[in-house]
Amino acid sequence: MAKPMPVRTVAEESLIGKRIPKMDAPDKVAGRTRYVQDLNVPGQLHGKILRSARLHARIVKIDTSKAKALPGVHVVLTAADVDQRPIGVRKDHMPLKGDKVRSFRDEIAAVAADTPEIAEEAIRLIEVVYEDLPPLTDPEKALLPGAPLIHEDKKDNVAMTFDYANGDVKQGEAESDIIVEDTFYLHYVTHCCMGVSGIIADYQPNGNLLLHSNTQVPFLHKREFAEIFGIDPGRIRIIQPPIGGGFGSKLDIYPFEPIVVFLAKAAGRPVKLVFTREEEFVASPTRQPVILKLRSGAKKDGTLTFRDCVTLHDNGAYTSWGATTPFVMMQTISSLYRVPHCCYHTKAVYTNNPYAGSFRGYGNLQATFAVEAHIDKMADALGLDAFEMRLKNAQDPGEVTPQGMHFKSCGFKDCLKTVAARSGFSDKRHAYRVAESAPGRYKRGIGMASMLHVGGGAKIYPSDGCGTILKIDDFAHVTVMTGASEIGQGSETVLAQLVAEELGVPLSAITIVNNDTDITPWDVGVHASRTTFIAGNAAIGAARIAKTKILAAAAKVSNIAATDLTLRGGFVARAADGQVIMDLPKLLRSIHFQDKADLVMTTFYYEPPSKHQDKEFKGDVSAAYAWATQAVEIEVDLWTGIIRLLKVTAAHDVGRVLNRLGIEGQIEGGIVMGQGYALSEDLMVREGRIANPNFRDYKLITAPEIPAMDISFIESMDGEGPQGAKGVGEAPAICMAAAIANAIENATGVRITALPFTPENVYRALSSARGQAKGAA
């Protein structure tokens, strides 16, 4: 008699919350990853762009004859040579400028040549005759009567306006025991992706257009490219090679992209263009600079009464996403704390300055900077604890704000309490305040700020969907084709993790395909901290369909009900006790060969229905919202204005931690990006010209300068989130400047309302405050 098979069991093991190394990291550390800079296609030419030498001028004449005569030059194009349509958010931007230039970055001509060196030489040989026009570089002057017009058809220089209101600000004022008012100046910074911009355009023999592009929004770009060239979007294929950083910079289409397509078309050859670092500084977008006037009120007990906010956005010469950041800013103004009466008005005005795009946080760094300064200011004036005042006005789960945002999961108060306790906030703030008036060169300060941001997608398009195609082969290898783009943030790993969790297979059994519009399902792009939430839900959906099919087949073979079975450790197992019923690859082989395997799954996840924002900006913009509080401790050198960031204590409501390694990396990176925004980064735009287009003069934070970090996760388990998770990508960068401003005030007694807090700016602000204090005495 045969011995009975020994009973094997497999333990339930979850991947959720584990530290999962990034799947693409081994290639990256080996130098094997090929970015667009590293790609070359057979027959490729090299593109180069001539940019304006003038700030604001009519183009009288462009002479390209010498460039065309240079050996090795294949094509020279100007606006006269191409049939182009305007690009950008307001379609106010021709890729090649024919009539006039509106900023120093403006593209006038382009060359395709055998080598980059020849292309550069050809660019130098192009002669342009300009007729200068009066410049406009001060956004406040853009609205004055008689101001130079940047676009002749925009008679008031206004690119965009946003107006939002709830309640009655007058009533709020009447109910206030204190009213504070300030003007905040938020400066230019730029993304500084380590991988500079680049593209390869390649017309295929069948007339289809193949682009190797760094875009964050491949499907939306297909449509936009098609509109520019007047071709069928279905004939455009976008492949995204691994991308050397995004942070929002690759959300819009920029002139160099259609220009390279024009070059490729004219040359009949593929054309590659990669920016120099200087070009990257000059010709990629900036964070939106803002002049923000805020009035806020509160009652004696600290209850907020109203907020009245007017902002002026320097749009630059053309309209990209920067102009639409009020969409996010107003959410912080109206809904980070409970404010019964609120109004927000903004204008984005054209100037001859560089134009602003989308950048991690999307206006929220600017709005949070102002809102959090006023909480501190009012708390101090009312003699309240700054933390307690925040707690008093903080949102709770279930609230629907006057703007219509519905906070289903909300760990805001837990974020506040966690940070206050772990940083020793209130005691330190008091002690540093007392020490402020004592003599001494070095002063310490602590400051706190919180943020609200979309964490469940962003309904800025009619749909916020993402698709997944999932296939399983007969060796239990799973391929996940997702619309979600990987820009370094780790989406491929988290998606693999979510699928592995459902299917009980190791991560090594999963391949993610995410970079080819001919293969991957439709998606609106990587932005708004949406990928884990939206693409994660889509991936889980496909994995669950697969699981159901596999368990049904296993039930048939084993005579155990599918509901009593599960997938675990590469086996079909009994759910109750983990007893191994069969080997998964073997089952899959048998169903692939003998049954209708049907193991290609498709899903689309769309955000759950909600009250979409109306024309007054009231409604819900996300399926879930992320919350965070950060406290910073600093040391100010009163003699030099140098600020040392000592420690950051952060608590983030992330719904649930999926990949602990990945989420820590996002938060640490965001904190340091926020540190740079506050302390060191300053894109100096002087009369429209960028004065510091290099890493020597544009100072990024380096390894020795980072603070100690204490990061806590608040797991509010969002009901709609994938495994309860919410988005986190943008959140960590948002609070830092606001918290540092509050810490400077705590350390020195001086409120600085203009960024950045570079040593010179801080020193001047402190000196001027001392001067005023002396004058008053």
Partner 1 sequence: MSLAAELPTRRIAFTLNGSPKRVSVPLTLSALELVRDLLGLTGTKYACGEGECGACTIVVDGKSLNSCLAFAVDLDGRMVTTVEGVASDPALARLREALVEAGGVQCGFCTPGIVMQAKYLIDSGRATSRAAIQRGLEGNLCRCTGYVKIIDAVAQAAGVNA
**Residue (194 or 519) nearer to partner 1, CB:** 194
The token pair at 101 is: 């230039």
> Which of 16, 79, 582, 700 is in the footprint of partner 1 by CB under 8 A?
700
Find all residues with CB under 8 Å of 546, minimum gap 6, and list them.
470, 472, 478, 502, 503, 599, 601
244 binds partner 1 (CB under 8 A): yes
What is the distance between the alpha carbons of residues 284 and 322, in angstroms, rounded to a whole number?
12
Q: Is residue 699 within 8 Å of residue 632, measured between CB atoms?
A: no
Percent helix, strand, coil in the chain, to 5, is 30, 25, 40
> Which of 85, 141, 277, 477 is in the footprint of partner 1 by CB under 8 A?
277
CA distances from 295 to 336, 344, 362, 403 (A): 16, 11, 22, 19
CA distances from 355 to 57, 191, 690, 756 (A): 17, 13, 12, 19
We find the least distance from the C-beta atom of residue 114 to partner 1, in angstroms, to be 6
| 2-41 binders of partner 1 (CB under 8 A) | 19, 21-22, 24-35, 37-38
What's the distance, Cα to Cα, between the start and end of the chain in Å?
105
| 55-74 binders of partner 1 (CB under 8 A) | 71-72
121 binds partner 1 (CB under 8 A): yes
Kindly write out the interface string for residues 702-721 of this chain, putting x where it contacts partner 1 by CB under 8 A and - elsewhere.
Answer: xxx-x--x------------
**Residue (494 or 542) nearer to partner 1, CB:** 494
Q: Is residue 147 within 8 Å of residue 79, measured between CB atoms?
A: no
| 185-204 binders of partner 1 (CB under 8 A) | 191-196
143 binds partner 1 (CB under 8 A): no
**Residue (665 or 749) nearer to partner 1, CB:** 665
In terms of Cβ atoms closer than 10 Å to its own Cβ (0-12, 13-18, 19+), residue 72 is middle
> Which of 500, 512, 673, 747 is in the footprint of partner 1 by CB under 8 A?
673
**Residue (1 or 30) nearer to partner 1, CB:** 30
167 binds partner 1 (CB under 8 A): no
**Residue (16 or 700) nearer to partner 1, CB:** 700
What is the distance between the alpha carbons of residues 695 and 193, in angstroms, rounded to a whole number?
12
**Residue (51 or 191) nearer to partner 1, CB:** 191
* Three-class SS state of 673: helix
**Residue (244 or 289) nearer to partner 1, CB:** 244
487 binds partner 1 (CB under 8 A): yes
Q: The sheet that has 478-482: what strands, in order across it?
A: 510-513, 478-482, 466-472, 600-605
What is the distance between the alpha carbons of residues 223 and 228, in angstroms, rounded to a whole number?
9
| 247-276 binders of partner 1 (CB under 8 A) | 247, 276
Q: Is 293 left (phi over 0), alpha (psi -120 to 50) or beta?
A: beta
**Residue (700 or 754) nearer to partner 1, CB:** 700
**Residue (122 or 210) nearer to partner 1, CB:** 122
Span of 174-182, 485-493, 518-526, 596-604 interacting with partner 1 by CB under 8 A: 485-493
We find the least distance from the C-beta atom of residue 704 to partner 1, in angstroms, to be 4
Kindly write out the interface string for residues 718-757 of this chain, putting x where it contacts partner 1 by CB under 8 A and - elsewhere.
Answer: ----------------------------------------
CA distances from 416 to 349, 452, 516 (A): 37, 12, 42
Q: Is residue 290 within 8 Å of residue 162, measured between CB atoms?
A: no
696 binds partner 1 (CB under 8 A): yes
The token pair at 231 is: 């071709």
**Residue (226 or 706) nearer to partner 1, CB:** 706
**Residues near partner 1 (CB under 8 A):** 19, 21-22, 24-35, 37-38, 71-72, 114-115, 117-118, 121, 191-196, 242-247, 276-277, 487-490, 661-662, 664-665, 668-673, 694-696, 700, 702-704, 706, 709
